[in-house]
């Protein structure tokens, strides 16, 4: 949950910084970003689900690996949920309803939702490597236990 709040504040700050910038071809760029997020989510979640701990004999190590796997699954599903909601709001809400003007400050929700999509893309890209490291760690633990 802490990561989601940090992501929300990054998106808010980015929205205020980019408030005067209109990203050309918003919807087609969002389509591409969401498609890539979907692919990265699918690959990442399938890697997470394919992690096999059944050969780990050390009970403490086994529990630690299961907890890590569960946390990664929750993070991936939460991030994909955020990107899906952002995409649909960006795609289907009228641009006039997505702008908020308070005094001289304007706030464009298009930018907010687009930044959420961009952050989701970064999340899925960056989190591939910890999954690969975890898989290598599992293989090392199993190898070490079998060689004892």
pLDDT tens digits, one per residue of 121-141: 999 999 888 888 888 888 888
Find tokens 């898989």 and name the residue: 135
**Please, are residues 56 and 145 in contact by the beta-carbon 8 Å criterion?**
yes
Q: How far apart are CA 102 and CA 31, in angstroms?
A: 30
**Please, are residues 20 and 99 in contact by the beta-carbon 8 Å criterion?**
no
Residue 100's beta-bridge partner residues?
107
Give me the pLDDT at residue 147, please.
79
Q: How far apart are CA 28 and CA 134, in angstroms?
A: 35
Question: Which residues of the chain have a pLDDT value below 50?
Answer: none
Give me the pLDDT at residue 107, please.
66
Give me the pLDDT at residue 92, please.
79
Give me the pLDDT at residue 137, please.
83
Instruction: Give exposure, 59-97, as e/b (b: 16+ Cβ within 10 Å).
Output: eeeeeebeebbeebeebbeebbebbbebbeebeeeeeee
Give me the pLDDT at residue 98, please.
54
Give me the pLDDT at residue 26, please.
63
């Amino acid at each position: 949950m802490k990561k989601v709040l940090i992501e929300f504040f990054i998106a808010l700050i980015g929205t205020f910084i980019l408030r005067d910038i209109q990203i050309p071809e918003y919807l087609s760029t969002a389509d591409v970003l969401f498609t890539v997020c979907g692919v990265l989510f699918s690959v990442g979640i399938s890697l997470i689900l394919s992690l096999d701990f059944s050969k780990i004999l050390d009970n403490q190590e086994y529990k630690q690996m299961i907890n890590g796997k569960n946390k990664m699954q929750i993070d991936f599903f939460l991030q994909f949920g955020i990107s899906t909601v952002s995409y649909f709001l960006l795609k289907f809400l009228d641009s006039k309803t997505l702008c908020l003007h308070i005094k001289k400050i304007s706030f464009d929700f298009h930018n907010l939702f687009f930044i959420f999509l961009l952050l989701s893309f970064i999340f899925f890209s960056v989190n591939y490597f910890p999954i690969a490291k975890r898989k290598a760690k599992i293989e090392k633990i199993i190898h070490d236990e079998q060689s004892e």
